[in-house]
Amino acid sequence: MGERVGVNKFVDLTTEEFLASYTRYKISTQRSSLNATRFRYEALSEEVPATMDWKEREAVTDVKQQGTRGACWAFSAVAAIEEIIQIKTGNLISLSEQQLVDCSLNGNIGCKGGSMYNAYAYIKQNKGLATEETYPNQEIDGTCDQQKGLLFQLR
């Protein structure tokens, strides 16, 4: 049985309208208090190309199946980190969205919604994430298992 997607009664709602009407998730009006270090690109010695296909350069993982749950916040946070790691180190590592869904609670509510900012705060506090292989996607809210698998350390 496959997933069916298409135009439906939700298509013209903003994210805020959908969350307010159909979930219990409350969008925080406060910005995250992360003390993030600003990232600066190094000076380029060559001309920047008009287009770039990161898939061809093997800088992004394959598309991951989120299903119909409200975990886009975890998938987008993990994708951004995976791609930065690959661009900076040359290593493409698939990290665990499920760990964020299960364990990142500070304002996040698993499959019912969350925030990338809160996901980054969890990753920073936790000093990394498990790989997808060691903490695989279950497509449901699970129980947090901090000991599951090896942690990919982020600096």
pLDDT tens for residues 24-81? Answer: 655 555 555 555 556 566 666 778 788 888 888 888 888 888 888 889 999 999 999 9
The dihedrals phi and psi of 130, each to the nearest 5 degrees, come to: -75, 160
How far apart CA 19 and CA 26 sit, in angstroms, is: 7
Domains of the chain, CATH where assigned = 69-155 (3.90.70.10)
Q: What is the pLDDT of residue 97?
A: 94
pLDDT tens for residues 72-115? Answer: 999 999 999 999 889 888 999 999 999 999 998 888 888 888 99
Q: What is the pLDDT of residue 31?
A: 54
Q: What is the pLDDT of residue 76?
A: 94
pLDDT tens for residues 5-25? Answer: 677 777 787 877 777 777 765
Long-range pairs of 86-93 with CB within 8 A, sequence gap ≥ 24 = 86/58, 86/59, 86/60, 87/59, 92/58, 92/59, 92/60, 92/61, 93/131, 93/152
Cβ-count burial 49-63 (b if 16+ within 10 Å, e if not): eeeeeeeeeebbbee
